[in-house]
Amino acid sequence: MNNQFSFEIVHQSKKSKARAGIINTPHGQIKTPAFVAVGTNGTIKAVENNVLNKMEQDLIFCNTYHLMLQPGTKIVKNSGGLHQFINRPKPIITDSGGFQVFSLAYGSVCDELKSKGQKKYDSTVIKISEDGVTFRSYINGDKVVLTPETSIKAQKDLGADIIVTFDELPPYHVNQKKLKASVERTHRWEKRSLDEHLKNPNNQAIYTVIHGGLDRELRTESCKFANNLPFDGFAIGGSLGKNHEQLFDLVKFVTPQLEPERPIHLLGIGDLKSVIPCIELGIDTMDSSHPTRCARHGLAFTTQGAQKIVSIKNKNNFGPLDPNCSCSTCKNYSAAYIHHLFKAKELTAYTLATIHNVHFMIKYMKNLREKILEDKI
Cβ atoms of 341 and 324 within 8 Å: the answer is no
Catalytic residue among 58, 167, 232, 287: 287
Question: Rounded to an integer, what distance in angstroms lies between the CA atom of residue 76 and that of residue 145?
Answer: 19
375: left (phi over 0), alpha (psi -120 to 50) or beta: left
Neighbours of 172 (CB within 10 A): 12
**Residue 299's closest CA among 271, 331, 333, 268?**
271
**According to DSSP H, which parts of the chain are helical?**
49-52, 64-69, 73-78, 82-86, 98-106, 108-115, 148-158, 176-199, 216-227, 244-254, 272-280, 290-296, 328-332, 335-343, 348-373
Whether 322 sits among the annotated catalytic residues: the reply is no
Q: Per the residue annotation, which of 58, 95, 167, 322 is the catalytic one?
A: 95
Half-sphere exposure of 3 (CA within 13 A, CB side): 0
Can you name the residues that pair with 204 across neighbouring β-strands?
A: none
CA dist 300 → 25, 274, 365 (Å): 32, 17, 17
- Separation of alpha carbons 371 and 373, rounded Å: 5
Coil vs helix vs strand at 7: strand
Q: How many CA atoms lie within 13 A of 119 on its CB side?
A: 14
Active site residues: 95, 287
